[in-house]
Structure 1
Amino acid sequence: MRVALYLAYNGTHFFGSQTQKETANTVLGELENVLKKLGIKQKVVASGRTDKGVHATMQVCHIDLPPYWSDIKKLQKVLNKMLCNALHVKKIIQVNDDFHARYSAKKRSYRYIIKTTPSNPFEKDFITFLQNIDFKTIEQNIRLFIGEHDFKQFMKTGSPIKSTRRVIYKAFAYKHKNCIILHFEANGFLRSQIRLMVGALLTLQQEEIQKQLDCEQKYKIKPAPPNGLYLSKITY
């Protein structure tokens, strides 16, 4: 039986989401380690990867369960008792055998949170603190990313990919109390693409962003810190 697991996690405690040879301290590493203790040795497949320090309010994975784990409600309870506090299974649902957490996904949504007040130790792992932010400029420039573009100038190298073209359906900014929220929705994202786009919004002029987006010129951009970024929704 194939099931989809909806996860939430605090990325501060993990070296990214994907399993790694160098460390077991990743989101899928932690999940697969607990599943093995329950006799479930099948590989977990996630909708996509998140960098070290990046959070998720909705990450989706799929796995094929052995017959003796047909009670998925019980499995959810057992997993949440055994997993570390930084990782939580929000729900488990049965899906079709051809469902694929990554390839069946149609849209992926992220939010980036910036707070304009002085930093404090209680929120620093979850919010990027930046003062003197020009919200109106960010609100205007973020729209440049909407549409289909070649984002090869907005990615980190290291992952094999077939194409660097992506379609961004939504990109907008809004205020909520003392926070500025940047929202991105696309058919997919390249490695560190959102952090580099946010970095561009914070440091480049409109003309410079457009030139880099058109692959006419590449500017040196520092990726925005990972702690403000959240994978918020996967649409199937």
Structure 2
Amino acid sequence: MTRYALTLEFDGGPFMGLQRQDHGPSVQQAVEDAVQEFSGQQVRMQSAGRTDAGVHACGMVSHIDLETHLSLFRMREAINACLRPHPIAVTQIEMKPDDWHARFDCTARSYLYKICNRRAPLTFDRGKAWQIPQELDAAAMHDAAQLLTGLHDFTTFRSVNCQSQSPVKTLDLLDVRRNDEWIYVKAEARSFLHHQVRSMVGCLAYVGMGRWDNARISAALEAKDRQALGLNAPPHGLYFVKASYPETEHQSQESTQ
């Protein structure tokens, strides 16, 4: 039995989330079913992060244990063939040590939130970004975002359904940049609370609209109260983009052969 790390890209729109759900389709179930279809083996996929319904990914890292004689290239091709027509793709497969874990060995997670700041309706990016027609001040949003970086109690920005033992987290980066009509919010931390990124983005959008100022962001953070939250941004603008891991003596084999 070999442990394999899978890098996944998916459109979260059709799914109830990444994790297997009792009440609807999930990315995990689709991948596990695809592996069983070509290999005849039941696997349990573990992932670096969890995504809600409608949240996308372009670099989610997961792992499975499987016994196969296929090369990494053939294995990737087989999984992707069995995943059709789901909007999920395995972009890379690596072999890992038996004790390597996609979730517990992950040292940093990166998210990107996309805002389209225009009045004209979205066409190609419908369901892939949050459209805000009011003019947003991205520089003010970035300035306010710096108040949230560092070690804080993020209770205000935490879902009431969050299962994390502590609301205290260290936010390493919260960066807001404009590129024409697009505003990109990048967040990096070792781990995040449930809805934390979406909650922060929603409040920063209020800053961009001129409805909140920096003092209001600070007050919301210091309140440690979900009732102080201004707005929870919708899920379809959020992307899990990267899971980071420490360098090890075991050099993985990329599926480029």
Aligned match of 1:226: 235
Q: Provide the TM-score with structure 2 as the length reference.
A: 0.86
Aligned match of 1:62: 63
Q: For residues 69-118 of structure 1, give each alpha carbon's deviation from its aligned partner in whole angstroms, at most 9, with x where no partner exists.
A: 45322110011111134100001000111111111111000111111122
| Partners of 1:150 and 1:215 within 8 A in 2 | no
Aligned match of 2:222: 214
Q: Residues of 2 paired with 1:26 and 1:82: CA distance?
A: 15
Which residue among 177, 183, 197 is the counterpart of 1:180?
183
Q: Residues of 2 paired with 1:69 and 1:14: CA distance?
A: 31
Once the two structures are aligned, what percentage of the paired residues are identical?
29
Residue correspondence of structure 1 range 92-103 to structure 2 within 5 A: 92-103=93-104
SS in 2 for 1:108: strand
Moved over 4 A (4+): none
Segments of 5+ residues of structure 2 without an aligned counterpart are 207-211, 246-257
Q: Provide the TM-score with structure 1 as the length reference.
A: 0.93
User: Is the counterpart of residue 16 in structure 1 residue 13 in structure 2?
Assistant: no
| Partners of 2:199 and 2:229 within 8 A in 1 | no
Q: Residues of 2 paired with 1:223 and 1:36: CA distance?
A: 37
Q: Residues of 1 paired with 2:234 and 2:99: CA distance?
A: 36
Q: For residues 2-25 of structure 1, give each alpha carbon's deviation from its aligned partner in whole angstroms, at most 9, with x where no partner exists.
A: 1100000011121111101122x1
Which residue among 131, 134, 139 is the counterpart of 2:137?
134
Q: For residues 113-154 of structure 1, give each alpha carbon's deviation from its aligned partner in whole angstroms, at most 9, with x where no partner exists.
A: 111122223211111111221222102111111101111211
Aligned match of 2:165: 162
Segments of 5+ residues of structure 1 without an aligned counterpart are none
Q: Residues of 2 paired with 1:157 and 1:228: CA distance?
A: 21
Amino acid aligned to 1:210:
S
Q: Residues of 2 paired with 1:168 and 1:146: CA distance?
A: 5
Q: Residues of 1 paired with 2:48 and 2:139: CA distance?
A: 33
Query: What is the root-mean-square deviation in Å for CA atoms of aligned residues?
Result: 1.5
Q: How many residues align?
A: 234
Aligned match of 1:196: 199
SS in 2 for 1:114: strand
Residue correspondence of structure 1 range 71-150 to structure 2 within 5 A: 71-83=71-83, 84-117=85-118, 118-131=120-133, 132-150=135-153
Q: Residues of 1 paired with 2:183 and 2:171: CA distance?
A: 20
Q: Residues of 2 paired with 1:167 and 1:142: CA distance?
A: 14
